[in-house]
């Protein structure tokens, strides 16, 4: 008897995820539309992302985008929804066949993510410092944003960014390169390398790079 109850529970759970996938697709499509996102209808989403795309900003998503967002859908064990924020004049672009889980991409300048990129749970990409480094501006009330530093971020094709990483302004991550979980990246990573830590440092060449696209 216990076996069948447990089995039934798993069937219900399976059905829940199937329904959730359809619901997520529908609501996310509406949110993409309302935010002026250029996207392909073949995306697969679990959960609903949070979107704030300025009318003067641009957000494009390539084919076969996959995201996990929020409670019950982020299987790395963290519950945040994905955050995609694009400010006026900024440009966020995601290439083809990209997968992300519970990420935050905060784009005040330019964030460009290539094809076949995987970005692990809880990772944030900031192309801005958000606040001035000058305490007089930062602590003014209301806060003055003059001179806040902001530089483009580029994640090249095939990169894999481990969960809980922070990618800061001006960084380029090379083709097929890997960032270890929990890293803080503030400088460029060349192609086909593994970098890990805070601050992220070179650990080794990516021995699998040659077989990747």
Ligand X SMILES: CC(C)(COP(=O)(O)OP(=O)(O)OC[C@H]1O[C@@H](n2cnc3c(N)ncnc32)[C@H](O)[C@@H]1OP(=O)(O)O)[C@@H](O)C(=O)NCCC(=O)NCCS
- Asked about 164 being catalytic, the answer comes back as no
Q: Which residue is nearest to ligand X (CB)?
A: 120
Q: How many residues does the chain have?
A: 213
CA pair distance 199, 17, nearest whole angstrom: 38
Question: Which residues of 4-152 form beta strands (DSSP E)?
Answer: 44-46, 50-53, 58-61, 66-68, 83-86, 91-94, 99-101, 104-107, 110-113, 118-119, 124-126
Contact code string over 12-51 relative to ligand X, x by CB under 6 A: ----------------------------------------
106 vs 189, beta carbon nearer ligand X: 189
Q: How far is the CB of 130 from ligand X (least distance, A)?
A: 25
Residues 88-107 that bind ligand X (CB under 6 A): 101
For position 120 contacting ligand X by CB under 6 A, the verdict is yes
Conformational region of residue 116, where left means phi above 0, alpha means psi within -120 to 50, and beta covers everything else: left
Q: How far is the CB of 202 from ligand X (least distance, A)?
A: 11
Answer whether 112's CB lies under 8 Å from 80's CB: no
Q: How far is the CB of 28 from ligand X (least distance, A)?
A: 19
What are the residues facing 119 on neighbouring strands? 100, 161
Q: How far is the CB of 54 from ligand X (least distance, A)?
A: 29
Answer whether 62's CB lies under 8 Å from 84's CB: no
Residues 162-181 that bind ligand X (CB under 6 A): 162-163, 178, 180-181
CA pair distance 151, 57, nearest whole angstrom: 16
Judged by CB under 6 A, the number of residues near ligand X is: 14
For position 70 contacting ligand X by CB under 6 A, the verdict is no
Give the catalytic positions in this structure. 131
Residues in contact with ligand X by the rule CB under 6 A: 76, 101, 120-121, 162-163, 178, 180-182, 194, 196-197, 203
């Amino acid at each position: 008897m216990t076996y069948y109850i447990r089995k039934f529970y798993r069937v219900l759970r399976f059905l829940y995820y199937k329904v959730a996938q359809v619901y997520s697709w529908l609501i996310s499509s509406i949110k993409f539309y309302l935010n002026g996102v250029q996207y392909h209808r073949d995306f697969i989403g679990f959960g609903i992302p949070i979107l704030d795309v300025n009318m003067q900003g641009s957000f494009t998503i390539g084919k076969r985008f996959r995201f996990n967002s929020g409670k019950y859908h982020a299987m790395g064990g963290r519950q945040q929804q994905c955050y995609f924020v694009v400010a006026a004049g900024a440009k966020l672009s995601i290439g083809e066949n990209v997968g992300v889980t519970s990420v935050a991409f905060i784009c005040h300048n330019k964030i460009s993510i290539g094809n076949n990129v995987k970005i692990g749970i809880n990772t944030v990409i900031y192309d801005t410092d958000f606040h001035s480094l000058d305490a007089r501006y930062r602590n003014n009330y209301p806060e003055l944003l003059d001179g806040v530093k902001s530089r483009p971020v580029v994640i090249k094709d095939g990169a894999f960014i481990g969960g809980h990483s922070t990618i800061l302004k001006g960084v380029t991550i090379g083709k097929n390169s890997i960032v270890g979980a929990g890293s803080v990246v503030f400088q460029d990573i060349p192609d086909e390398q593994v970098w890990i830590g805070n601050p992220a440092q070179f650990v080794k060449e990516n021995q699998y790079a040659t077989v990747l696209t």
